[in-house]
Amino acid sequence: MANGWTPERRARQAELIRAWQPWSQSTGPKTTGGKAQAARNAFKGGHRPAVRALARAVGELLRDQVEGLHRIAR
């Protein structure tokens, strides 16, 4: 295999992991910071809608100001 994991190596690793059972040793986060970080694990982003809304608001504000300047100049 290109990644170095032959079927024999994969089977041996699976056997070792089943014997080791790392999932049974996991106790989860203990500290407040660790719990907060774990709570954000599924968060994928979400800044784009906020940035678009801000850009839209700034654009409207600029249009209003330009229109106001045009009214004053008349």
The whole-angstrom separation of Cα 71 and Cα 66 is 9
Residue 1 has pLDDT above 70, yes or no: no
The whole-angstrom separation of Cα 20 and Cα 6 is 21
Residue 55 has pLDDT above 60, yes or no: yes
What tens digit of pLDDT does each residue of 60-72 get?
999 999 999 888 8
pTM score over 0.75 = no
The whole-angstrom separation of Cα 73 and Cα 70 is 5
Domain ranges in the chain?
47-74
